[in-house]
Structures are given as structure tokens and as C-alpha cells.
Amino acid sequence: MTGAQMIIEALKKERIEVIFGYPGGAVIDIYDELYKNPEIKHVLVRHEQGAAHAADGYARSTGKVGVVLVTSGPGSTNTVTGIATAYMDSIPIVVLTGQVPTKLIGNDAFQEVDTTGITRPITKHNFLIKRIEDLPKILKSAFYIASTGRPGPVVVDIPKDIQQAKGEFNYPDEIELRSYNPVYEPHVKQIEKAYSLLEQAERPVLLLGGGVISSGASPEAIKLAELLNLPVTMTLMGLGSFPGEHEQSLGMLGMHGTYYANMAVANCDVLLAVGARFDDRVTGKVDAFAPGAKIIHIDIDPTSIQKNVKVHVPIVADCKRALTRILEIVRRVKKPKRYWKERFKEWWEQIDIWRKRYPLSYKKDPNYIKPQFVIEKLYEFTKGEAIIATEVGQNQMWAAQYYKFKYPRTLITSGGLGTMGFGFPASIGAQIGNPDKLVIDVAGDGSIQMNIQELATAVEQKLPIKIIILNNGYLGMVRQWQGLFYGKRYSQVKFHILPDFVKLAEAYGAVGMKITRPEEVEPVLKKVLNMNSLVILDVHIASEENVFPMVPAGKSTTEMILV
């Protein structure tokens, strides 16, 4: 069997149904095999960055591994932003890159780049294959590493002569790597300590991050919160792990989190953080973060623990298993629900005061479309059942604040890297992975132009994605910072030329619509959501609207700008 055939066979063994890619000289042998194996669907993108984001969106929305196939040199470098995006958010993708023949490596051959060198700091692991004998085992390892422990992207760089070489295909069913042994099961002692802290708590908060979603721990988190009557807040990556409309949900915390979530965390005495990594956008000024709290931190990655904040009870484990173990104690101890209700009654009264004092809100205006209103209506009309991808900037934060994510894997957003141009290609992957779901990209006029070429991909694949551009004619989030902290010196954030998005959609064979008046929002949005084709809805919003609340960078989370 040739190396190229082995790659296809490995994909079949891994039950990969779809790959995202773009051909070129260094992978032409693999594409030749794909031609002969139509059962593996290949989505031909228009730019390799799109392939990486699409595979990522597929992975985020389905929980399966996303696969990318690109050529050497520029094909591989074009995936770099996509790989880094997946790395920062711990998303399992496997990127297969072609490479020049082994004997040319290091010669500055045509379309040669040091792919493993470039991607080393942005992958969980990467491989350069030098011998055909290693190919099956390395492919198996790549899928195994990407999808286990703390998930992440893995790159496999495959020289052209290896693709053509013949060898034996012995693909292991299972693999063990002596130097890679993720810990899943928590330490019993630590679990007991965690429970006893919760039992002693008077003002607890449960903080859920992206790890809850990737480990499928949402049911356990909900159970624990409900049994113990815990207030729940989420990071951007954790949204959806706990229903946004649940009465115990305080919504998102951090820089653009709710007033009450930030106040609750700042005043809690026990913080149970699950699958969150205390990013600076969450903590604000670290010294002032949850200053009076004993922190319990559950995370599968030991490096996340004690990295940014001091933790009292570290628990290295899979979030789902750790929560399951805590729940076992809760059930064993058998304190009635009433007990916990009573116990945290005062705490909840305080939280409700905060909730009433500063609910999430915005000023209505009869003359301008408010972006928050658009997202509210989007939530109402989709009943929270849609998958929402976002771009980056204000659009992303409004989506996070006003769409009350009900389920895990329904928010597809670049949290860690904040990659503009992520949302649309990611929604291609999400729609392919979820053909029966409504997939919406909440976009900004800047971000959408960063991977706009993928319109051709989406139309070609007949994907009925809805792109809602919250068009403010600005790089809005940067303008907001300039407005608040740089004396309104709006430096290079205004687009004097924007494409006509309606015509642009039409040019690609999609539907384009535009609205400018508040009264158009409801009828047009309803109509768009019911259409069975790709639609760009260009929503002209109040151009200088800001995202609030806001914790200025480096400030304590209680120092919020509220309106």
C-alpha cells in the first residue's frame, strides 16, 4: 500500500466522514486517492485558513476531530492562524500537510517551509514523517493525542516521497505512548477537600469554562448547581454549559461580563472553577480577583492550575469525572435541597440585589438599530436552538451577552486567540457537522471581510448559513477602546469603503438583504431565518454603540464601566 493510500485508510479507521482542504503539488498523491474514495467527503475551501477554521468549527460543534489537508509551503503557512486559534481554545483538529521529498528537506526547495518548526509552539504536538514504516503509527498517535487529555491541534507533515513509498499498513486499534498519559481520575482526597469547602461555604460561586464543554460535563455541572443551589457564572468559552436562562445563571463574567457575575465572584468565599484557566480577560487585575475566596480548581491540564491565580484545592482530572465524584459525595451526605436553599439564602438575596441594580441593559433608540436588540430577537426567534458562530469584536461580545446559550456546543467563538475571520468558515464546519441545525454567524463588517472568499465554499456546499452582519462601519471594538481610553482619537478604525454586502452575496449566488430601521428588524430577521439558502443580512446598527459593562484592561473586576 502506498503512503497516500494509508492516509485514506487511516481516515476510514478513524471514522472521519469529512475533511477540509485545498490541493497542491505536495499532496497531489493524496488527492488522487481521495478521487478514488468518494466516501470521504472533501470540502474544497477557497483559502487554507478557511479549511482550518472549518475543521475547528466542525470539531467544536460535534465533539469529533476535525481534519485538514493542505499542500506544503504556502498551503501550510495559510493554516497557521487556524491552528493557533484551535490551540488556544483546546480544539481537536488534525492537520495533514504535504512536504517536499525527504531528500530535498533543508534545501529551500520549491514550496518548502519548516512546517513542524513553524507550528511547534501552536500545536499540542506535531510530527514530520521520515520513514514509511512510521506512517500508520504516527497517524494513529495524531488522532489519539488530538482528542485525549486536554484536546488540541496536531500537525502531521508528510513528504511527497513518503506518500508515494510502499509499505505495510498495520494500523493499531489502540495505542499507548509511554511519555503521554493524561490523568482523568481525580484524587479522592482532593475531591473530599473540595466537598468540605463547599459545605463550609457561605457565599459560593460555580465558575464553568470551556473544559466543561469539551469533557461533556454539562449535565453534571447542572446537577451539582441545582442540588447545592449554587450561583453559576461562565467564561466566554463556557457559555452553553449551563442554560443561560436558568434562574441560577449569572451569565458571563470578566471584561464584558455581567455586573452581578463579577460582583458575585469578587465577594464569594468559595469559588469552584471547572475547566477554566483564569485568562486575564476573566480575572482583570489578578490580585483583586476573588480576594476572599478559597479556590477549588478542576482542570485536566496541570499547567493551568496555579498559573495565574493561587488555588487552594487543585484537582487535576477530567471535569466530568471530577464533578461526578463530588456528586457522589453530595448524594452520600444526603442533605436535602431545602438545606442548601436555606444555607445560601442570604447570599442569593445579595446577588438578587446586584441583579436588580444593574441588569444587562442598553438604551433603546427609535432611530437606530441597536445590536443588542438584534441578538435578543435572534434568541427569541430561534428559541435558543441555533448554533451561533461569531466573529471577533463587539459583535462577539453582544452575541455572548444577549444570546442566552441553552446547550453546550452552540456557541462557536474564538475565545483565546480572538481571531477575526474565524466565525464564517467555522460556521461552514458547524453546518456540515449539523446539517439539521440552524447555523448563524454573528459578524462584524470588518471580520467578515477576512474570510469572505468562503462564501463560494458555502454556496457550493449548499449550506443555508445565515450571516448577520452587525454593520457599524467601524472596527468597533478598537474604536471603543480609542473612545474610552485614547481621547476619542479614532485612528484607522473607520472603513471609508465597504462592499455592498447585498450585491456581494448575490455575486456569490447567495441571498443578500439589508436593513437600516429598527422596525425592520423583526419581520426581516424572521424571514431570513426561515429561508433555506445562504443569506447575508447586512444590519446597519448604531455606529458608535459600545459594549457594556466593561472592566478596563488591568483593572479589578469590580471597577466596571456600566453604561
Ligand X SMILES: Cc1ncc(C[n+]2csc(CCOP(=O)(O)OP(=O)(O)O)c2C)c(N)n1
- DSSP letter at 334 equals T
Measure the CA–CA gap between 17 and 353, rounded to whole angstroms.
51
Q: How far is residue 284 from each of residues 25, 289, 354, 486, 551, measured CA to CA in Å? A: 48, 7, 19, 20, 7
- Catalytic residue at 48? yes
Rounded to a whole number of angstroms, the minimum distance from the CB of residue 83 to another protein is 15
Sheet holding 466-471, edge to edge: 411-412, 387-390, 439-444, 466-471, 535-540, 511-515
> Of Mg ion, ligand X, another protein, none, which one sits near residue 121, judging by CB under 5 to 8 A according to partner kind?
another protein
DSSP string, 500-541: -HHHHHHHTTSEEEEE-SHHHHHHHHHHHHT-SS-EEEEEEB
Check 140, 160, 370, 406 and give the catalytic one. 160
- 284, burial (CB in 10 Å: exposed 0-12, middle 13-18, buried 19+): buried
Per-residue cell: 194: 473540595
Stretch that binds ligand X, among 82-90, 266-274, 343-351, 417-425 (CB under 6 A): 417-425
Q: Under the criterion CB under 8 A, does residue 126 sit at the interface with another protein?
A: yes
Q: Where are the alpha helices (DSSP H) in 22-73?
A: 28-36, 48-62
Measure the CA–CA gap between 478 and 481, rounded to whole angstroms.
5
Q: Under the criterion CB under 8 A, does residue 145 sit at the interface with another protein?
A: yes
Question: Among residues 258, 324, 395, 427, which is the contact residue for ligand X, using CB under 6 A?
Answer: 395
Measure the CA–CA gap between 332 and 355, rounded to whole angstroms.
34
Q: Under the criterion CB under 6 A, does residue 545 sit at the interface with ligand X?
A: no
> Of another protein, Mg ion, ligand X, none, which one sits near residue 301, judging by CB under 5 to 8 A according to partner kind?
another protein
Measure the CA–CA gap between 341 and 40, rounded to whole angstroms.
53
> Of another protein, Mg ion, ligand X, none, which one sits near residue 145, judging by CB under 5 to 8 A according to partner kind?
another protein
3-state SS, one letter per residue, for 362-381: CCCCCCCECHHHHHHHHHHH
Q: Under the criterion CB under 6 A, does residue 78 sit at the interface with ligand X?
A: no
Q: Residues binding ligand X: what is the number (CB under 6 A)? A: 19
> Which residues, other chains included, contact 298 with Cβ-Cβ below 8 Å and sequence gap of 6+?
186, 194, 211, 272, 273, 274, 275, 315, 317, 319, 322, 323
- Catalytic residue at 110? yes
- Catalytic residue at 252? no
Q: Under the criterion CB under 8 A, does residue 532 sit at the interface with another protein?
A: no
Check 397, 477, 513, 560 and give the catalytic one. 477
By the 8 A CB rule, do 126 and 155 touch?
yes
- 491, burial (CB in 10 Å: exposed 0-12, middle 13-18, buried 19+): exposed
Q: Residues binding another protein: what is the number (CB under 8 A)? A: 19
- Nearest residue to 160 (alpha-carbon basis) of 116, 94, 96, 117: 96
- Catalytic residue at 477? yes
Q: Under the criterion CB under 5 A, does residue 445 sit at the interface with Mg ion?
A: yes
Rounded to a whole number of angstroms, the minimum distance from the CB of residue 85 to another protein is 17
Closer by beta carbon to ligand X, 221 or else 477: 477
Interaction residues for another protein, span 179-198 (CB under 8 A):
179-180
Closer by beta carbon to ligand X, 54 or else 221: 54
Q: Under the criterion CB under 8 A, does residue 125 sit at the interface with another protein?
A: yes
Measure the CA–CA gap between 155 and 120, rounded to whole angstroms.
9
Question: Among residues 3, 415, 476, 549, which is the contact residue for Mg ion, using CB under 5 A?
Answer: 476
Check 1, 111, 130, 285 and give the catalytic one. 111
Rounded to a whole number of angstroms, the minimum distance from the CB of residue 466 to ligand X is 17
Measure the CA–CA gap between 272 and 343, rounded to whole angstroms.
17
Rounded to a whole number of angstroms, the minimum distance from the CB of residue 294 to another protein is 18
Question: Among residues 170, 306, 361, 516, which is the contact residue for another protein, using CB under 8 A?
Answer: 306
Stretch that binds another protein, among 118-126, 159-167, 379-387, 417-425 (CB under 8 A): 118-126
- The residue written with cell numbers 469572505 in the block is 452
Stretch that binds Mg ion, among 39-47, 160-168, 443-451, 540-548 (CB under 5 A): 443-451
Question: Among residues 49, 90, 218, 472, which is the contact residue for Mg ion, using CB under 5 A?
Answer: 472
Stretch that binds another protein, among 47-55, 73-81, 178-186, 237-245 (CB under 8 A): 178-186
Q: Under the criterion CB under 6 A, does residue 116 sit at the interface with ligand X?
A: no
User: Which residues make up the interface to another protein (CB under 8 A)?
Assistant: 116-117, 120-121, 124-126, 128, 130, 145, 177-180, 301-303, 306-307
User: Which residues make up the interface to ligand X (CB under 6 A)?
Assistant: 391-395, 418-420, 444-447, 470, 472, 474-478
- Give the residue numbers marked as catalytic: 48, 110-111, 160, 477
